[in-house]
Structure 1
Amino acid sequence: MTGYFIQAFIYLIAAIIAVPIAKRFGLGSVLGYLVAGVIIGPMIGLVGEETATIQHFAEFGVVMMLFLVGLELEPKMLWHMRNRLLGLGGLQVAGTTLAVTLLAINVFDQSFNVALTIGLIFALSSTAIVLQTLDEKQLSKTDGGRSAFSVLLFQDIAVIPMLALIPLLAVPELMDAAAQSGAGLGGETHSDISLANHLSGWPYGLVMAGAVALVIAGGHYFCHPLFKFVAKSGLREIFTATALMLIIGISALMGLVGLSPALGAFLAGVVLANSEFRHELESTIEPFKGLLLGLFFITVGAGIQFNLLFDNFFSVIGLTLGIMAIKFTILLLLGFSFRIRGSDRWLFSLSLAQAGEFGFVLLNFGAQNHVLDHATVQLLSLVVALSMVFTPALFIAFDRYILPRFEHKKNDPETDEITEQGTVIIAGIGRFGQIINRLLVANGIHTVVLDHEITQVENVRRFDMKGYFGDASRLDLLHTAGIDNAACIVIAIDDKIRSVEITQTVKRHHPHVKVMARAFDRGHLYQLRQAGADHIIAETYHSALELGGQVLMGLGFNKRHADIVKAAFVDIEKRHQDELYEAWQSLTEDIKFSSQYSKLFITLEQVMGEEMKKTCEHLTDYTGSKPAHGQADEAQKPQSEGSTS
């Protein structure tokens, strides 16, 4: 038992140290996990033979991830994805399989059966790494991210026919050698329990279809009453056990009939996407998914055979980069064909250029079914692992070199010719800027709206609002828009750095113009203040304050008391804002990493609590009564969005 504790401690401490460091330097958590695995495995040898066994267990994290992905997709949304799912995904798998097969036959002199198996293995990409990284970098909602997801989903489905096809490709020489030794390759037979091992043809197809139908029907008719029954117990741990039981049961069922557990979990997630228990399931499964995926990435790094790599360094690296180049080229061509534009095309192509975790499954399956020999399996396993290790570097290259270039190009198209000048210039016509513009225009104030996002300008034009495509940080555009005679400029763009730059530009060249700016958070507010902004509003401050007041009224405060408490809260914040700002100016690091700032903030929060308590006591003394929770009068009823408060 002690040995298991020691191994668990090694894996956890490696993750705890490596991942925060990798995140701090902008390298992403996946690379941190992979590096941690390399350090504790091949480099210093703290883990060894158990890595392969742990990896099979950790692959369950991929199953959980696809279950959570399914929860985000309604069946209607999945139907809308059919063109890219089948077209883009199908062409990628077919094109990569064909290219790698031809390469294996013509360059490496492999037989057709072996070459086709290798082609199928490298047609797959890493669902775990790609989806995790896209989610971390908030790229999953982009066109490139959605296209990558469509291909990954098709690949996971394609694993099923691949598993059915590989046994038919068995090499006679390997079958004879296995028969003579009395065992499968490696001296062991496939030990997984299977109800479909001895079936073929239409009976096997019926069993698979029945398993899929059972998952869909069970999710639709059985899960709702089950979760409702469990939820009534009020025990969170039982709900957690039920969620895990559901995913493990589906995985076991899929394994029994020879299907992909990940596919079964995905289907169950899609079926439950409209369930009222969806969010509870997400919050329950998410920690397990994250931990198991991290463990899986560590085992990939720890499983790299450096001895084999050093013995065949140039051939292994050349093969890895060659496979990734082939996949990248095919993906780039498909990106052109399916009109994936700009940086999204590069994101799509780079993100899927690696081999995937299911490659390990197909390699072992190919060995067990006498298609691949032991030496080939070891070599290709190393290539699969290295391609996964190289993937975070591709995302880093995308962030640092490709994305800035396309952002620059996106902002460089010819700006609109500004034909008017305004009393107020508004930089940014998103959800925040639109409200300000409508308010000013409704009161007869002439505005000129600039936005460096062409889509935003096109959107407001559809509603008969006037806007110009242009970068408000350019002094010549501000001059054309009338900055010389303007009273103020409103900065409402979704770009922290650019908003600070605009503030500095305006205050340097036109100090008479008042700068009204929106801040995303406290640190951004201080940056804008330092740059010279005259008035700054935190974008969520007043809406949060208003909702907080409604909560107080719902708890028994009358409207007048709630307004007094809110006003006192704002007054206390204003009195201490200079102290916080001065502390921020002395920082050499970001607010969220500064213990000095955190201590000051906590102290001020304590002061806030004491002063708010005094305010409430004063109200009690003044009115002679204390607000009673839950006893709201008519004035405390919920108000509509349009009402004043």
Structure 2
Amino acid sequence: MAEPVSQASFLSPVLMFCAAAVVAVPLFRRIGLGAVLGYLAAGVVIGPSVLALVDDPETVRGVAEIGVVLLLFIVGLELKPSRLVAMRHDIFGLGLAQVVATAMVLAGLTAAFSEQDKGLFVIGVAFALSATSVALQILEERGDLQASYGRRAFAVLLFQDLAIVPLLAMLPLLANTQALAGGEAMSRGLGAVAEALGAVGLTVFAGRYLLNPFFRVLAATGAREVMTAAALLVALGAAMLMEEVGLSMAMGAFLAGVLLAESNFRHQLEADIEPFRGLLLGLFFMSVGMSIDVGLVAGNARLLALAVPLLVALKIGLGAGLLRAFGSPWRDAVRAGALLAPAGEFAFVLLPVAAAVGLVTQEELQLLTALAALSMLLGPIVAKLLDQVLERVPEAEREAEAEAFAGGASNVVVIGFGRFGQVVNQVLLADGADVTVIDRNVERIRAAARFGFKVYYGDGTRLDVLRTSGAGRADLVCICVDDRATALKIVELMHVEFPQVRTYVRAYDRVHAIDLMNAEVDYQMRETFESALAFGRATLEGLGVPAERARAVVDDVRRRDVARLMMQKAEGIMGGADMLHGARERLTPEPLTAPKARTRALTAETEDLIADAGTSR
């Protein structure tokens, strides 16, 4: 009888977490406050301070912290060296200035209005950091990820994500310097440094020489679940290795992500990790919400009512001032400053670590955690109000800002790197387009690498892979796969999830071209059509036909083919059959109908049909 009780006790909190999430998160998203706040509120409600549906938040904290580990792994995956170089001034200049200036001001205010002395550094830094998930969600909802202020805000967030790793490593060292003295401290310190360097060296070696061949072998099996298991193995394995030598798990996962940032499997890994990261990070926020003592908050309501607005206003002012000093227009500076105002997810990571090593007390931890959570509630509301006010900026200024960013390289995703996709890629690169290529053929990816091409492993029929490869942000997606069903599935996904993105598709044959036209792609072309026309023209010239005459003949065939294709779309596969040169009879003649001796000439109506068809063939 004990086994059913154990099973019920295990399932009960799981069901409670799921129920709280599916109620709170959609509700908070609907009112524009974001998923993070939904998780926090759900945690408060089901926690011991309110309904007490889950008595001990610490029972899930260990598992929930894996969400933070996976978040840093994905942050590492995004840090391609070329991207860091392009954004280096904003990341390491503006980002560093924002963290340092905000931390100093907040630490000074803490010292002025409290008796805290040991934890001033960690308190200042914890609240200087911003909510990455909240800011990116707001930018995505606005469609401003590529706007000027969006890019600069992201650069600051990127520096903050980079800074969290050394900050987490510093906290135990700060505590240890107070506990150890003399030769004992030196000997232990040297031993810890040696172990840490060894672990980092081992991780770097594995990432540089072993991971790509490892994932290549797994990808060749075609087992999707094995790739997912391998991605978790790498992220969590690196995290555990760092924890064993006294560093943070987050640092290990981050390092593993950076080492895989240039890997051919980066997009696939990010797509495989993302569902686990989202669920576990949500669980982490719920555990944070459960840890908030509502009684303590009520007892300090007056203090929090002053501190929360002050924190948000102070961070908006400091952030906007620094952005303005670094050259942003005032409107962009205010919008970016508002995005950076709420305390971030890492406040809930830094503050408990600081409490564990004795830098802040448990009562201070509760109050500071409540302050961070409430700032995440108020920050998005203030950002939305400010955005509505700034929308009244004169139109001329908006147009000037839009023109400043209109000259960037086109952003194109190419799916499929076979014979057709390779030529398309050459044309795009020749004009300087920013191209991301994905393919699921491991051998083709390896062959491309020998010629210096970067092709990422990824299945274009998976929505999560399309998202991580940037299809939703692209100007155009070229679908160059050589399988009809696969191409149609990708088109369907694109039109449902990213209707604003144009789709240019390689058609396998005539029937496939008609299917794509019915699917309303922006452009389609049969893979052999133009090459066959060029071949035919060369053949005519080889027979002695003048070049001008050969060109005119080919143009006539092309126009007739377009007209026939449009008729087939409207009438079925036999539509326009008599448009073919040399068609002496219909394949399915009507009774008592004499066969036609010549093909039908193009009428004015047909010419109009061709014009309406545009360039799609």
Pair in the same fold by TM > 0.5:
yes
1:369 alignment partner AA: V
* Corresponding residue number in structure 2 for 1:116: 121
Match of 2:526 in 1: 550
Find out whether 1:293 has 2:281 as its counterpart: yes
Name the structure 2 match of 1:489: none
Q: Which aligned pairs between 1:64-83 and structure 2 lie closer than 5 A?
A: 64-83=70-89
Task: Give yes or no for contact 2:320–2:337 (8 Å, CA) kept in 1.
Answer: yes
- Equivalent position amino acid for 1:89 in 2: G
Q: Which runs of 5+ in 2 are unaligned?
A: 1-6, 180-184, 410-494, 501-515, 531-556, 589-613
Q: Which residue of 2 aligns with 1:567?
A: 566
Superposed CA RMSD: 4.5
Secondary structure of 1:367's match? Answer: helix
Q: Which residue of 1 is the match for residue 221 of structure 2?
A: 233
TM superposition shift of 1:337: 1.5
- For the residue of structure 2 that corresponds to 1:232, the secondary structure is helix
Q: CA deviation at 1:381?
A: 1.8
Deviations 1:244-302 (A, max 9, x none): 11111122123233434344433433332332222322321222222223333444444
Structure 2 counterpart of 1:405, one-letter code: R
Secondary structure, in 3 states, of the residue corresponding to 1:66?
A: helix
Distance 1:453 1:347, change over 3 A: closer
Contact 1:163–1:362 (Cα < 8 Å) also in 2: yes
Match in the other structure for 1:141: 146
Q: Measured at CA, do residues 82 and 459 of structure 1 come closer, stay the same or move farther in structure 2, by a change above 3 Å?
A: closer
The 3-state SS of whatever aligns with 1:274 is coil
- Kept after mapping to 2: 8 A contact 1:19/1:33: yes
Aligned length: 451
2:269 alignment partner, one of 240, 257, 281? 281
Residues 318/9 of structure 1: CA separation in 2 closer, same or farther (3 Å cut)? same
In the TM superposition, 1:98-117 aligns within 5 A as 98-111=104-117, 113-117=118-122
Which residue pairs with 2:292 in the alignment?
304
**Partner residue in 1 for 2:249:** 261
Q: Distance in 2 between matches of 1:617 and 1:39?
A: 69
* 1:405 and 2:392 are equivalent in the alignment: yes
Deviations 1:282-332 (A, max 9, x none): 321222222223333444444432211111101123223323333222212
Is the 1:568–1:615 Cα contact (8 Å) retained in structure 2?
A: yes
Q: Tell me which amino acid in the other structure corresponds to 1:306.
A: V
Residues 575-594 of structure 1: pairs in structure 2 closer than 5 A? none
Displacement after TM superposition at 1:163 (Å): 4.1
CA contact (8 A) 1:92 1:334 kept: yes
Flag the 1:35–1:167 CA change in 2: closer, same or farther, 3 A.
Answer: closer
Shift of 1:238: 0.9
- Structure 1, residues 147-178: CA drift from partner, whole Å, max 9, x if none? 33333333334334444554566599x98xxx
Matched, 1:12 2:18: yes
Paired residue for 2:134?
Answer: 129
Unaligned ranges ≥5, structure 1: 176-196, 414-451, 461-519, 526-539, 573-611, 625-641
* Deviation string, structure 1 residues 112-131 (Cα, Å, up to 9, x no partner): x2333322332333334334
Aligned to 2:9: 3
User: Which whole-Å CA distance do the structure 1 matches of 2:342 and 2:244 have between them?
Assistant: 29
8 Å CA contact 2:518–2:569 kept in 1: the answer is: no
Using the alignment, how far apart are the partners of 1:644 and 1:171 within structure 2?
Answer: 69
The equivalent of 2:315 in structure 1 is: 327
Structure 2 distance, partners of 1:215, 1:102, is 39
Task: Give the deviation of 1:43 after TM superposition.
Answer: 8.4
Instruction: Please state if 1:367 is matched with 2:343.
Output: no
- Deviation of 1:553 after TM superposition, in Å, equals 8.1
Identity %: 36
Match of residue 35, structure 2, among 14, 29, 36? 29
Contact residue 93 and residue 124 of structure 1 kept, 8 A: yes
Distance 1:205 1:10, change over 3 A: same
What code does the residue aligned with 2:163 have? A
Structure 2 partner of 1:153: 158
Match of 2:102 in 1: 96
Give the aligned partner of residue 364 of structure 2. Answer: 376
Return the alpha-carbon distance in structure 1 between the equivalents of residues 335 and 405 of structure 2: 23
Match of 1:390 in 2: 378
Could you tell me how far apart the structure 2 residues matched to 1:88 and 1:457 are? 24
Q: What is the deviation of 1:35?
A: 4.0
Cα pair 1:30 1:294 within 8 Å, conserved: yes
1:217-232 mapped onto 2 (5 Å cutoff)? 217-232=205-220
CA distance in 1, matches of 2:517, 2:114: 64
One-letter amino acid matched to 1:550:
R
Partner of 2:421: none
**Which residue, out of 66, 69, 85, partners 1:60?**
66
Equivalent residue runs for 1:316-465 within 5 Å: 316-402=304-390, 404-406=391-393, 408=395, 410-411=397-398, 453-455=402-404
The one-letter code sitting in structure 1 at the alignment partner of 2:253 is: A
